[in-house]
């Protein structure tokens, strides 16, 4: 951010959560780069693929979704999208996919490089678009694809049939990866990874739950940055350590009455949808300048996986936010709103994400009614800067603020 | 106490001078919006009409897309709140406000005390906005103000069903090329705007009484089509286009009196 | 019946789904709607219910916008629009598979938008050609059966399913033959060809098979009106049934000699085995063998090569990909298809279509230019 650059730089405290988390996020890329340089086979992996599998096998993988978000946040989204469009990809396709497919062809991007993959790991528990995207990566790069199909669950519970189906695929994926990479799966190593993953997740979920205090000890936009580590490194002990540090910092903030939200917290809202990475500063300023803290969002918690064994792990991956029906998805959000004293819901109608936006109108109406909070939506995109209008965003956030303000006045 | 409200829209600027938050002393409308600055002219006009000077004005509030760029105001509110306040003043029993402006169509819910409780607005596409009507009027070479009375003369409205302005434009052109009478095409255009806006209204939920504000409220073709689509009476008044500026002036009064 | 009379019969059914729908209801039958792209119709049929295709319609979208944002395809939007408007009133249920993200949303919205027609989800495995995949497909079918028992009071039996599988396989075979026969008969227009395929969605399959077989017989007696100055092409996409678009094909002399359209030939490529499997397993087996489709996982993208190969085998001079606006499975396949066709020397053109389009002038210009290039 421009105004922050002018401030004298204080050296970052290496014991702070922020420092540790940034180190891990950066190391995620350099580790893979080094592995690739050593001649090891490296992979690309979708964000909600069971990271326990590559982690247990000791594989180096990187995350195209994080990369696309990074490229978009640093201003390269439109350039990459246009590169994909020139190959025949429709501009209606998910912008992460467009950025990633363009990168696969170009092989570099000044905003965020990562080595090209020797195999791809795909899991469609977040969307079926993921299948198409990874099919194209595998086809264009002529590399193997490991696909774990976790279908959208129309029911409230994970059925035994689904569990058996997904488990069969987990086992097949492990076998396929062992063949490709020559690594071996061991039970002890899996138990370590599971322990790390659960430890990281517990600290993360506890940290995000600190938003229940008023004022919240943190700015919700922090979560969007820290989430990168939850996505990529939750199975590593250093991630667990960093998340526990974060939790301690938030606890300390709460005790001291401090917060990373650098403004008076006048309003507390839930934000729905993926961040508008190309417009992160605009979206964040639009809230902060009005004293709005985004205290909770479903997709931060999405990366906290807690379970006791292999089957439990499978069930956890079957229950990620975009794989569940409207009622279960709605109730999770209602709980977040109530637990965190949310006063309004701001919905990002994300042009890139059909699944996330496709039944959001009905679901957010139901949440608004149940929680008695105003619901306001704006149009945007996770990576294509062209699909966002600053004036529209500003008017709608202001409208939301005025409703919350009037309700506060009426309550007094 | 005198307060001033100014609504700087995309194509027009409206200004209202209010006495004691209750009586409209003067109002003006200038055909220049955000792009061509019409604020000075609009303000000057109400000052002249009311025989006041700026020093007599206790508080000024701006609204509309240009609200942030005008430095003359003491405060600003979103056009959503402005329309809610203005319409509540014009029609206290209104519970749903439909406003079709140049760039935006909005549907606002009011609670029983007249406070805004929620709203929806159109997506980024211009279909279903005043801009769409302007473009269509341009193609038909008729004044935008004449669209309403023209639509009333239609016997069998043309079907303009495309969801996209660009597609709708080519539909209109091919209707004309096929010899469809202009009033039928105009009625088709009004219906298509109404269909889109009523979809928006249903998303928000429609509670009677329904009041229509904004420049398009004058267009009987659109208003009547909205009534048909929603199955409710949609009221308006000659001051409907001033609702935003009036709301801003009301908000200014509230801010000045606290 | 003569060829023309038969074509008229197909046209009557294809152009009046509402009439067909009410014809069955009035006869006291129970109708179950089937959403795109694949549903286990054999099961519905075996339970004595009439499966009835619900692929939306060419109508203005209004009420669906209360649920869907603008960037969901018009197929999903118009299915919901028709549902809300009461066009399907009287149907016992709707079966919606979750084969694409927009279909998932259609199912979730349906529950609140059209409360009087029960939503029955069909969850297919994407990793389908293996033991766990087949077991999961079977579990999905069992769930559909249970839901249909509840929604329509219908009874399921494996014997009835075996008979229905035979009915469906016979229909598949007839449709494959019809596809080949029409290619050899240039006097059948693109619009008429579409009627043959589209009517299948609105008729009981045994009725439709009888008509198709009659057409095949009648065609055999007539010589293929070879040439006639038409240009053979192949179509691909989800849907290619818009009367105004097909009229442009006909006016420009573009003759469809093969298709890779989801609502047409993709439905009829794969049969359920009639021996060696219990009926429900045979159905799971069928799904496991299905392929070459944008909503079925295929890392090899065999579909792209199949399009180029089929075009060549049928003598098509080019391929017209009719892309349903906002259909991302198809949008992702397009660049790959483009490469395959280019490698095979098969010209390809892309037309973006929307169910709301009345006016296809842009498509006409494109097709005209395409014809001239060919």
Helix (H) or strand (E) segment spanning residue C313: helix C302-313
Which helix (H) or strand (E) covers residue B19, if one does? strand B13-19
Residues of B in contact with C361 (CB under 8 A): 170, 174
**Higher pLDDT residue, C97 or A391?**
C97
Q: From the list B65, B80, B203, which residue is nearest A399 (CB)? A: B80
Determine contact, residues A177/A59, Cβ cutoff 8 Å: yes
- Using an 8 Å Cβ cutoff, are C26 and C176 in contact? no
The yes-or-no answer to whether B1-91+241-258 and B93-236 have a common fold is: yes
Which residues 74-103 of C are in CB contact (within 8 Å) with A?
98-102
Which residue among A129, A145, A169 places its CB closest to the CB of C132? A169
Contact A132 C131 (CB under 8 A): no
User: Do the chains contact at A88 and C338, CB–CB below 8 Å?
Assistant: yes
The predicted model scores a pTM of 0.92
pLDDT digits (tens, 9 = 90+) for A344-390: 999 999 999 999 999 999 999 999 999 999 999 999 999 999 888 88
Lowest model confidence (mean pLDDT) among A160-164, A181-185, C241-245: C241-245
C356, B161: Cβ pair inside 8 Å? yes
Instruction: List, for chain B, all residue ranges whose pLDDT scores fall below the cut of 50.
Output: none
ipTM value for the complex: 0.96
Contact A258, A214 (CB under 8 A): no
pLDDT tens per residue, range A256-290: 999 999 999 999 999 999 999 999 999 999 999 99
CATH of domain B1-91+241-258: 3.30.420.40
Distances (CA, A) of B88 to A197, A301, A340, B55: 55, 41, 33, 28
Which pLDDT score is estimated for B208? 92
Task: Show me where the domains of chain B are located.
Answer: 1-91+241-258, 93-236
Domain B93-236: top CATH class? alpha beta
Please state the rounded mean pLDDT for residues C139-148.
Answer: 98
Contacts of residue A341, Cβ cutoff 8 Å, sequence gap at least 6 = A212, A214, A268, A295
CATH of A12-183 among 3.40.50.11890, 2.60.40.420, 3.40.190.10, 3.20.20.70: 3.40.50.11890
Instruction: Tell me if the bond preceding A251 is cis, omega within 30° of 0.
Output: no
Closest C-alpha to C188, from C365, C11, C374:
C11
C119 to chain A, closest Cα gap in Å: 10
Q: Is A364 on the interface with B (CB under 8 A)?
A: no
Give me the pLDDT at residue A8, please: 57
Whether the CB of B81 is below 8 Å from some CB of chain A: the reply is yes
Domains and CATH numbers, chain C: 12-159 (3.40.50.11890)
Task: Say if residue A12's pLDDT is above 50.
Answer: yes
Q: Which of B123, B167, B202 has the CB atom closest to C70's CB atom?
A: B123
Cβ of residue C157 closer than 8 Å to a chain B Cβ: no
Q: What is the pLDDT of residue B167?
A: 63
**What is the mean predicted confidence (pLDDT) over A132-154?**
98
Whole-number Å distance between alpha carbons of C226 and C257: 13
**What are the tens digits of pLDDT across the range A199-254?**
999 999 999 999 999 999 999 999 988 988 998 899 999 999 999 999 999 999 99
Contact residues on chain C for B163, CB-CB shorter than 8 A: 61, 70, 354, 356
List Cβ neighbours of C361 (8 Å cut-off, separation of 6 or more): B170, B174
Q: Within 10 A of B32 (CB to CB), how many other CB atoms are there?
A: 17
Residues of C in Cβ contact (< 8 Å) with A362 = 67, 108-109, 112-113
Q: What is the mean pLDDT of chain A?
A: 94
Partners of residue C136 in chain A, C-beta under 8 Å:
161-162, 164-165
Nearest CA-CA distance, residue C331 and chain B, Å: 20
User: Which of B159, B171, B199 has its CB closest to that of C65?
Assistant: B199
CB B18 within 8 A of CB B3: yes
Write out residues 323-382 of A within 8 Å (CB-CB) of C. 325-326, 349, 351, 354-355, 357-363
Q: In terms of pLDDT, which residue wins out, C43 or C368?
A: C43
A379 interaction partners in chain B (CB closer than 8 Å): 123-124
């Amino acid at each position: 951010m421009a105004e922050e650059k002018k401030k004298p730089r204080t050296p970052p405290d290496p014991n702070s959560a922020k420092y540790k988390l940034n180190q891990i996020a950066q190391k995620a890329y350099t580790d893979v780069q080094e592995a690739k340089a050593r001649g090891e086979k490296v992979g690309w992996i979708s964000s909600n693929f069971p990271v326990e599998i590559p982690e247990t096998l000791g594989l180096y993988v990187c995350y195209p979704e994080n990369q696309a978000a990074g490229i978009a946040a640093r201003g390269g989204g439109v350039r990459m999208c246009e590169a994909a469009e020139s190959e025949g990809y429709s501009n209606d396709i998910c912008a992460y996919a467009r950025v990633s497919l363009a990168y696969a062809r170009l092989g570099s991007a000044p905003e965020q490089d990562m080595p090209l993959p020797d195999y791809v790991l795909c899991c469609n528990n977040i969307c079926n678009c993921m299948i198409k995207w990874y099919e194209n990566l595998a086809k264009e790069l002529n590399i193997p694809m490991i696909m774990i199909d976790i279908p959208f669950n129309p029911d409230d519970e994970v059925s035994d049939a689904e569990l058996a189906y997904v488990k069969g695929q987990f086992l097949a994926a492990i076998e396929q990866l062992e063949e490709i990479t020559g690594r071996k799966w061991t039970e002890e190593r899996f138990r370590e990874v599971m322990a790390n993953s659960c430890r990281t997740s517990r600290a993360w979920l506890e940290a995000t739950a600190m938003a229940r205090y008023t004022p919240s000890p943190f700015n919700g936009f922090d979560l969007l940055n820290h989430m990168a580590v939850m996505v990529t490194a939750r199975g590593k002990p250093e991630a667990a350590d960093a998340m526990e540090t974060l939790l301690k910092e938030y606890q300390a903030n709460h005790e001291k009455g401090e917060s990373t939200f650098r403004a008076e917290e006048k309003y507390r809202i839930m934000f729905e949808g993926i961040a508008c990475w190309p417009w992160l500063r605009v979206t964040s300023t639009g809230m902060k300048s009005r004293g709005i803290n985004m205290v909770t969002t479903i997709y931060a918690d999405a990366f906290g996986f807690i379970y006791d064994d292999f089957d439990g792990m499978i069930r956890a991956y079957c229950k990620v936010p975009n794989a569940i029906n409207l009622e279960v998805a709605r109730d999770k959000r209602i709980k977040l709103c109530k637990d965190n004293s949310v006063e309004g819901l701001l919905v990002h109608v994300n042009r890139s994400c059909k699944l996330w936006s496709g039944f959001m109108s009905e679901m957010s109406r139901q949440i608004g009614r149940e929680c008695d909070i105003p619901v306001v939506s704006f149009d945007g995109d996770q990576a294509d800067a062209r699909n966002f209008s600053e004036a529209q965003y500003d008017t709608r956030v202001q409208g939301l603020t005025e409703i919350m303000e009037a309700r506060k006045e009426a309550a007094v | 106490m005198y307060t001033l409200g100014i609504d700087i829209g995309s194509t027009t600027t409206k200004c209202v001078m209010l006495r004691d938050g209750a009586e409209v002393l003067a109002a003006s409308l200038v055909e220049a919006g955000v792009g061509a600055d019409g604020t000075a002219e609009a303000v000057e006009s109400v000052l002249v009409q009311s025989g006041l000077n700026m020093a007599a004005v206790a508080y000024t509030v701006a609204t509309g897309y240009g609200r942030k760029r005008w430095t003359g105001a003491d405060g600003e509110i979103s056009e959503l709140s402005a329309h809610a306040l203005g319409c509540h003043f014009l029609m206290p029993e209104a519970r749903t406000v439909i406003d079709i402006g140049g760039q935006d169509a909005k549907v606002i819910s009011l609670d029983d005390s007249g406070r805004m409780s929620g709203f929806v607005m159109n997506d980024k596409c211009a279909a279903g906005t005043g801009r769409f009507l302007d473009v269509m009027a341009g193609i038909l070479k008729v004044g935008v103000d004449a669209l309403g009375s023209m639509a009333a003369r239609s016997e069998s409205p043309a079907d303009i069903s495309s969801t996209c302005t660009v597609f709708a434009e080519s539909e209109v052109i091919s209707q004309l090329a096929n010899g469809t009478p202009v009033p039928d095409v105009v009625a088709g255009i009004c219906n298509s705007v109404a269909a889109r806006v009523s979809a928006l209204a249903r998303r928000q939920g429609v509670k009677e009484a329904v009041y229509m504000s904004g420049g398009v409220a004058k267009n009987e073709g659109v208003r009547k089509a909205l009534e048909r689509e929603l199955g409710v009476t949609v009221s308006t008044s000659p001051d409907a286009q001033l609702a935003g500026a009036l709301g801003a002036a009301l908000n200014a009064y509230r801010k000045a009196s606290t | 019946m003569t060829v023309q009379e038969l074509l008229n019969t197909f046209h009557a059914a294809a152009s009046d789904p509402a009439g067909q729908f009410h014809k069955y209801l009035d006869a006291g039958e129970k109708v179950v709607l089937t959403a795109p792209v694949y549903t286990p119709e054999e099961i519905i049929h075996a339970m004595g219910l009439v499966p009835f295709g619900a692929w939306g319609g060419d109508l203005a979208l209004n009420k669906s916008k209360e649920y869907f944002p603008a960037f969901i395809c018009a197929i999903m939007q118009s299915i919901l629009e028709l549902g809300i408007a009461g066009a399907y009133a009287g149907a016992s249920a709707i079966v919606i598979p979750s084969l694409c993200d927009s279909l998932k949303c259609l199912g979730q919205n349906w529950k609140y938008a059209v409360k009087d027609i029960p939503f029955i989800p069909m969850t297919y495995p994407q990793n389908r050609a293996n033991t766990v995949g087949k077991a999961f497909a079977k579990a999905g079918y069992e769930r559909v059966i249970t839901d249909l028992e509840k929604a329509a009071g219908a009874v399921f039996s494996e014997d009835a399913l075996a008979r229905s599988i035979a009915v469906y396989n016979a229909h598949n075979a007839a449709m494959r033959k019809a596809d080949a026969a029409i290619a050899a008969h240039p006097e059948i227009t693109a619009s008429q060809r579409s009627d043959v395929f589209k009517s299948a969605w609105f008729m009981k399959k045994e009725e439709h098979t009888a008509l198709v077989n009659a057409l095949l017989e009648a065609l055999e007696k007539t010589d293929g009106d070879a040439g006639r100055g038409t240009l053979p092409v192949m179509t691909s996409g989800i849907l290619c049934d818009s009367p105004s678009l097909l009229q442009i094909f006909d006016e420009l002399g573009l003759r469809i000699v093969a298709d890779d359209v989801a609502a047409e030939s993709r439905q009829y490529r794969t049969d359920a085995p009639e021996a060696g499997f219990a009926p429900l397993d045979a159905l799971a087996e069928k799904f496991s063998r299905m392929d070459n489709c944008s909503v079925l996982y295929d890392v090899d993208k065999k579909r792209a090569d199949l399009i180029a190969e089929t075009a060549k085998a049928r003598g098509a001079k080019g391929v017209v990909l009719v892309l349903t606006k906002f259909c991302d499975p198809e949008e992702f396949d397009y660049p790959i298809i483009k490469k395959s066709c280019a490698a095979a020397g098969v010209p390809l053109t892309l037309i973006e279509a929307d169910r709301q389009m009345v006016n296809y002038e842009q498509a006409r210009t494109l097709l005209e230019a395409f014809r001239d290039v060919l």
